[in-house]
């Protein structure tokens, strides 16, 4: 079954879709093809090529012209080109630009954020729209599990029970589509992490020290929720007996970000040098992160909040840490005037800590007007010092802040 994805396309534009492997980019191409056929487009007008097919591994840029010549010999009608994982061909962007100049319909996918680099975008000359494809968001995850919902569903006990069940699964196993087909999703996730994500980063970037890369990503998983310097991460890997320099640490983490395995969040109030050198790292999918953890649901909760915010607001997500004002907040989103704390459960001690952090922010800044504490399952309003704070359970947060 093809689960409808919440990705919108303009009918007359060409697109480059990028995102982590196994996130569903190919399925989106299939859905686009299906819609074209339903509208009366003939199969002869469809050209679909997966450049990870072993029969196309050695294809060269100059040979791509043969594809268009054969396609044009089959029909006089408009042709729709779908090129999956085209980044494997050096110089692909020049071919793609020429097709766009010829007014062809083209959809391209790739698994490397370098496809969004300034050089590539310049080569494409503004002829393509760029879209980042993520694993299932929570609304898509519910649809994939045949849970139909609307804004009133959380007030219907039978529907709420299902939403709670799947929010817990989503927390622990993430949103990669194929996890839903597995009896043991953890085994599947471990297999694709070791053989696809790590292997792809190592091969694509010709990494000579794969052990250091593996240990580094493991160390990142242990410091989720905490700001950390590249120098500290380098020392942590060295402590295991594996050598890695700080510059290599920076490079390796950049490679992991380019592969959409990780993303970082910077301190909103830090100076530029500290912003860049001391970020917080998060995994793009909770299921992959959970491979490195043992009963650390608090970490998974914060990572899922980070993923949801990043998928919605992208580069406008920060953490807020100020020694001067003694404010320490998990997330702020300036464009949405939003400040968020994350706590698995609010007990007497944690309640006061989380509330006071939000009150201090409100007293020291007028940039933020909406204040939220995300928990696993608590739902209430707190009024303190003329400030309203919404305590929001995970499932409600996911349904509210998913696009």
* Alpha-carbon distances, residue 369 vs 132, 290, 322, 327 (angstroms): 29, 33, 19, 16
Specify the higher pLDDT residue, 307 or 132: 307
Q: Looking at residue 249, what DSSP letter applies? A: H
Q: Does 118 have pLDDT greater than 70?
A: no
pLDDT of res. 148:
86
pLDDT of res. 158:
86
pLDDT of res. 360:
95
pLDDT of res. 79:
95
pLDDT in tens, 392-402: 999 999 999 99
pLDDT in tens, 179-227: 999 999 999 999 999 988 999 899 889 999 999 999 999 999 999 999 9
Q: Does 91 have pLDDT greater than 90?
A: no
pLDDT of res. 280:
97
Give which of 264, 204, 259, 198 is closest to 21, Cα–Cα: 259
Question: Which pLDDT band, with edges at 50, 70 and 90, does 88 fall under?
Answer: confident
Q: How many of the other CB atoms lie within 10 Å of CB of 261?
A: 23
Q: Which ranges constitute the DSSP H helices of 133-196?
A: 138-144, 157-173, 185-192
Per-residue pLDDT averaged across 17-44, rounded? 93
Give which of 187, 155, 175, 275 is closest to 227, Cα–Cα: 275
Q: Does 116 have pLDDT greater than 70?
A: no
Q: What percent of the chain is predicted at pLDDT more than 70?
A: 99
Q: Judge if pTM exceeds 0.75.
A: yes
The mean pLDDT value of the chain amounts to 92
pLDDT of res. 1:
63
Contacts of 154 (CB under 8 A, 6+ apart): 160, 163, 395, 396, 399
pLDDT of res. 403:
84
Q: Does 140 have pLDDT greater than 70?
A: yes
CA distance 355 to 121: 44
Please say whether the beta carbons of 339 and 307 come within 8 A. no
Q: For residues 90-99, b (16+ Cβ closer than 10 Å) or e, as one string?
A: eebbebbbeb
Question: Which pLDDT band, with edges at 50, 70 and 90, does 133 fall under?
Answer: very high
Please say whether the beta carbons of 28 and 7 come within 8 A. yes
- Which residues are registered as beta bridge partners of 327? 322
pLDDT in tens, 276-286: 889 999 999 99
pLDDT in tens, 356-383: 999 999 999 999 999 999 999 999 999 9
pLDDT in tens, 316-356: 999 999 999 999 999 999 999 999 999 999 998 889 999 99
Per-residue pLDDT averaged across 133-151, rounded? 92
pLDDT of res. 52:
87
Question: Which pLDDT band, with edges at 50, 70 and 90, does 11 fall under?
Answer: confident
pLDDT of res. 151:
80
Q: Does 110 have pLDDT greater than 90?
A: no
CA distance 293 to 303: 12
pLDDT of res. 113:
73
DSSP string, 40-52: T--GGGEEEEETT
Specify the higher pLDDT residue, 310 or 56: 310
CA distance 316 to 367: 14
pLDDT in tens, 171-180: 999 999 999 9
The beta-carbon contacts of 145-152 under 8 Å, at least 24 apart in sequence, are 145/180, 149/399
Per-residue pLDDT averaged across 92-96, rounded? 89
pLDDT of res. 26:
93
């Amino acid at each position: 079954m093809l689960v409808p994805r919440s990705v919108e396309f303009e009918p007359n534009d060409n697109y480059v879709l990028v995102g982590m492997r196994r996130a569903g980019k190919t399925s989106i191409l299939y859905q686009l093809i299906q819609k074209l056929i339903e509208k009366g487009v003939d199969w002869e007008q469809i050209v679909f090529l997966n450049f990870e097919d072993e029969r196309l591994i050695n294809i060269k840029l100059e040979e791509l012209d043969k594809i268009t010549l054969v396609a044009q010999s089959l029909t006089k009608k408009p042709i729709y080109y779908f090129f999956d994982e085209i980044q494997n061909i050096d110089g692909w962007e020049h071919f793609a630009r020429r097709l766009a100049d010829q007014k062809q319909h083209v959809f391209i996918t790739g698994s490397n954020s370098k496809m969004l680099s300034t050089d590539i975008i310049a080569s494409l000359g503004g002829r393509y729209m760029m879209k980042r494809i993520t694993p299932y968001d929570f609304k898509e995850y519910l649809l994939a599990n045949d849970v139909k919902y609307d804004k009133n569903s959380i007030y219907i006990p039978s529907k709420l029970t299902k939403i709670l069940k799947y929010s817990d699964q989503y927390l622990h196993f993430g949103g990669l589509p194929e996890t839903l087909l597995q009896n043991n999703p953890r085994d599947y996730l471990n297999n694709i992490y070791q053989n696809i994500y790590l292997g792809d980063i190592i091969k694509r970037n010709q990494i000579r020290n794969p052990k250091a890369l593996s240990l580094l990503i493991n160390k990142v998983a242990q410091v989720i929720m905490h700001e950390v310097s590249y120098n500290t991460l380098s020392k942590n890997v060295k402590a295991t007996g594996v050598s890695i320099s700080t510059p290599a640490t920076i490079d390796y983490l950049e490679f992991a970000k380019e592969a959409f395995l990780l993303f970082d969040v910077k301190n909103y109030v830090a100076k530029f040098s500290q912003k860049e050198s001391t970020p917080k790292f998060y995994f793009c999918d909770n299921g992959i992160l959970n491979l490195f953890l043992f009963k650390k649901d608090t970490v998974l909760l914060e990572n899922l909040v980070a993923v949801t915010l990043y998928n919605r607001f992208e580069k406008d997500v920060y953490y807020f840490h100020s020694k001067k004002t003694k404010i320490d907040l998990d997330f702020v989103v300036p464009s949405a005037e939003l400040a968020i704390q994350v706590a698995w459960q609010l007990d007497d001690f944690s309640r006061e800590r989380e509330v006071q952090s939000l009150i201090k922010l409100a007293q020291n800044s007028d940039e933020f007007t909406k204040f939220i504490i995300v928990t696993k399952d608590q739902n209430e309003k707190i009024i303190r010092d003329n400030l309203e704070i919404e305590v929001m359970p995970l499932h409600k947060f996911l349904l509210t802040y998913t696009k």
